[in-house]
Amino acid sequence: MRKWLLVLLSLVLIVGTLFAQGAKEEVKFPNKKVTIIMPWGLGGGPDTIARKVASYGEKYLGVPVIVENKIGGAGTIAMDALMQASDDGYTMVVSNGPLFSLTPAFVQVNYTIEDITPLIGMRIVEFVILSNPKYSNIKTLDQLIALGKSGKSIKYATTGGPGNDSYTMISVLFKKLGLNAQAVPYSGGQDAINALLGGHVDIAIGSPPVYREYVKSGEFACLGTFIPDGIEVEGIGRIPSFKEQGIGAEFVGMDYFAVKSSVDDAKKAVLTKFIQDVYADPEFTAFMSSLGMEAWTATEDEIIKEIDLQTIAMKEYIDLLK
């Protein structure tokens, strides 16, 4: 009898130890690398910022953070990868508004806004239309209009295909200008800029930080921005909006970090705190300043509100392009 009691006591101790270890592992989240899925190509604006954020993984999260580019399908390849990932909190994504407000109108998608939880904003996207005067002699919007009306078919670089925000807005611009133009989709902002740099296209669309140094050096000219009130870019000066130039084409984009909505709330809080710590780091602040930008610290509710507003605004442009 005494022997059986000893065995039972041992079992109780073993089970108790296992429970204790399980609880201990749970509070250790994360205890392995975290992945950020990037829907767009290497070297673009969101890719550049996400990789900088990831470089602080060991410092503020205690584990490595890596960025994986999964490009294509106007961002839907990356969103599909997120939907297929485990809901253990080890996979984040960089998402934007158009993946919900615009892309479903052009591409069949396997997700809804309810499938994700935005953690924190990354940046406000300020798209600018650019020319390379060395090849086109275009430095202003009026010169672009004159060239188009001369009968030339204008080739313009985008950072994706139909359903992509840059594709939509630059296509809307040419539609509203009534010019004959042909889109040439690339896989990201840096590829589009490289195409303009090499004279493979007449016009390109870009966002900070990708185009900034080319404009400062005089290689590129800014024809306008979709931000309604225009933008002031350090080292470049003020870039007027198309609205100010009499063209009704407005767009305020946004990028943000998100996870699957099925991820545990406590893990969402850990990941959000990690990015908040990075944003508060003086070195990261200086990095963003060097790009002429600030981190967009919007909350989940603020991001969802902006997506809702953008969904209403996109309807006109979707109807125009369909």
Q: For residues 70 and 51, what is the distance between their CA atoms, to the nearest angstrom?
A: 14
C-alpha 69/C-alpha 37 separation (Å) is 6
Give me the DSSP letters along 224-267: EESSTT-EEETTTEEE-BTTTTT------EEEEEEEETTS-HHH
Number of neighbours of residue 248 by Cβ within 10 angstroms: 10
**Separation in Å, CA 91 to CA 30, 129, 319:** 11, 33, 35
Say how far apart CA 34 and CA 67 lie, in whole Å.
Answer: 9
Q: What is the pLDDT along the chain (322 residues), one digit of tens a residue?
A: 455 555 555 555 555 555 455 544 456 899 999 999 999 989 889 999 999 999 999 999 999 999 999 999 989 999 999 999 999 999 999 999 999 999 999 999 999 999 999 999 999 999 999 999 999 999 999 999 999 999 999 999 998 889 899 999 999 999 999 999 999 999 888 899 999 999 999 999 998 778 989 999 999 999 999 999 999 988 899 999 999 999 999 999 999 999 999 999 999 999 999 999 999 999 999 999 988 889 999 999 999 999 999 999 999 999 999 8
Label the pairing between strands 116-125 and 91-96: unpaired
Q: For 16-51, what is the HEC assignment?
A: HHHHHHHHHHHCCCCCCCEEEEECCCCCCHHHHHHH
3-state secondary structure of 199: coil
- DSSP structure string for 48-112: HHHHHHHTTIIIIISS-EEEEE---GGGHHHHHHHHHS-SSS-EEEEEESHHHHTGGGTS--S--
CB proximity list for 171: less than 8 A, separation 6 or greater: 158, 181, 183, 321
Alpha-carbon gap, residue 139 to 277, rounded angstroms: 42
The pair of structure tokens assigned to 208 is: 């900070």
**Amino acid sitting at position 10:** S
Q: How many residues does the chain have?
A: 322
- Quick check: helix, strand or coil at residue 319? helix
Helix (H, G, I), strand (E, B) or coil at 117: strand
